Structure formats: structure tokens, C-alpha cells
Amino acid sequence: MSARPKRIEDFRKPDDLIVVTGAGGFIAGALVRYFHDKGFRRIRAVDKKPLSDWYQRTPGAENVCLDLSGRDNCARACEGAAEVYQLAADMGGMGFIERYRVECLRSVLINTHMIEAAWRAGADRYFFSSSACAYNVDLQKDVHSRALKESDAYPANAERGYGWEKLFSEISCQEYWAERGLRTSIARFHNVYGPHGTWDGGREKAPAALCRKVLEARDNGSMTVNVWGDGTKTRSFMYIDDCVNGIDMIAHCDKLVATPINLGSSELVSVNDLLTIVEEAAGFKVRRTYDPEAPQGVGGRNSDNTMIKRVLGWEPSTPLRAGMAKTYRWIEEQFNLRRAGRRTVV
């Protein structure tokens, strides 16, 4: 039997300083809460958004508003850190990353300054959140494309903007380990979803967008949802609890230092299938229309989990139906709050 994967409590004391950037957003906000619930008392949560716009705030965390595209702010964020988790980025769903490539590329400034600041601060470990958008798009043209393994990022032909930003920053992590001895970790996220995420406003991803559209269809009486593309594009979607658990194990696995690894579900579904799952959570069906001119991304993308199962003996396992049921209920609560005139963070 293989040994239990190590986690943060195997290396850190409760009063060691943990820095999490992008903490006003979805994944990093959940990661702050995850570390807090494990008993860590010193967590510096950093985001450029005003505190009132953070998706969730964890009691006891040091919440700091800083724009990390500036070098001095990165030095301030990393001061005294034992571990740094770099999740700050300008990003969103396909509607955002296809339309705002310059903004996505500019996240290279954050990544470059943050890894240098972490090294200068003497941090022991540095985690970087990469993306499946770093993979060669030529391998993802067909909806039945094979699952992507880690080596499929090369020869390099990443998604324009966001994908190239991630791929370059992965290399930075590898070189800071090779040349400067900073213990880095790199996880390629595959479509993370769940409560306390973006569900409206243009940056939301497909699971949340479809939940909102179903709720709007009921609310406006049309009972009709417009689907981007023809509904046949395929993806895998990872529930947020699996994501933060995976981050912890990857960041504390010595076999994965400076080694990109997939962090995603291998449960592949089409957009049409995903909408059916949302209908099941909602308890009613909608009529579907299709917009072939809307942003759609690659034809198919799935996570090959051979490596993570071999190294960690684990993979994300929350069934999509179970995760989407929880996600739909949370978005329904937010939707109803907004209808009642109460402010919600989107």
C-alpha cells in the first residue's frame, strides 16, 4: 500500500504564515477557508478588489487589498511567508479569455513579480495555478479528443493570451527551482466549479452560466436557454472541494517539485449533457436555442489522470451531478437575493 500523500500539516506549524493571492476570487477564497479550517492561524489573503467585492472572507485571515502587477506590492504580500499560493490572475470563462487576451497576458506581470518576491522573502514553497489552456490546441479540435496528458503541452501551441501566459509562467517556476532552489509546484486546473464562484457578469464559466440561464428562463417565463455553440463541445469539470484538496497534496509532494500536473476530473460531458444535469438539479426542463457565433473554445478537453493517480494515489472524484446540485442551489439563493433587491457578489 502506498504512503498517504503529505499535506500542509505535515510541514507547517499553525502559526507559520501562509500567503494566498487572488483570495477575493473563487478558488483562492476557498483555499483560504480550507487552510483556516485546518487550524492555520496566520493566513494573508491578497486581492486587488475592494473587500466588499470579495466572494468570501474567512474570519481571522489578514485580508489585504493590493494590485500584484506591481513589484513592490508583491514584496509586501510575500513578506515573512513560509508558503505562497499564487492564484491571482485576470481571467474568466471562455467569453472573457477569448475577448480580452491582453488582460490575460498581463497576468505575466503578477506571476513574474510574485515568484521573485517569494524567493526574496525566503518562502519554503511556492504554488502556481496553471491551466489546461496551456495545452496544444491542435490536440483539442475534435469533441472526441483524447484526454490530455502532461506532455501534451509540447510542442507548444497554447490558447492565445491566457494559455501562453500560463505556459511561460510554468517555465519560470521550473527555472526558479533549477537555478535558485525555490521549491515550486504547478497544477494545471481543468474547469473548476462550485458555490461561492462567479455566476454572472461575463467572467463566469459554463456550469455557473447555465445555472443562471435556467433560473432566468423560469423567472422571465420564456423557459428558454440560449447555448453558446451547438452544445456538442466537451469538457470535464472539477468540484471546488476536490480542487483545494488537490492543491494541498500537489504543493507538498516532493516528487512533483517544478513538475506540471493535471488537476481535474476525468468525467467528460458535452455542454448539452451539462445543461441536462442543471435541469435535473432545477427540477424542470427548458427549451434550447443555439448561438454558433458565440465564444466556444476548443472542440474537446479532458484530463488524463494517469500521473496524479500514480504519484498521489488520488484523483478528483466528486460526481458532476452531485457537485452541480450543490452549485445550483447556491446560485439559486444568490439569484433570489438579487431579485429581492439585496446585493450579491458576482
Catalytic residue numbers? 162
Contact 85, 127 (CB under 8 A): yes
Cα–Cα distance, 335 to 84 (Å, whole number):
34
Rounded alpha-carbon distances, angstroms, from residue 226 to 8, 98, 124, 211: 43, 19, 48, 12
Collect all residues with Cβ–Cβ distance below 8 Å to 30 and sequence separation of at least 6.
56, 194, 196, 240, 241, 243, 244
**H/E segment holding residue 86:** strand 83-86
Q: Where would I find the H helices in 79-134?
A: 94-97, 101-105, 107-121
Q: How far is CA 202 from the centre of its chain?
A: 16
Rounded alpha-carbon distances, angstroms, from residue 105 to 42, 45, 65, 294: 31, 23, 22, 22
C-alpha cell at 246: 488537490
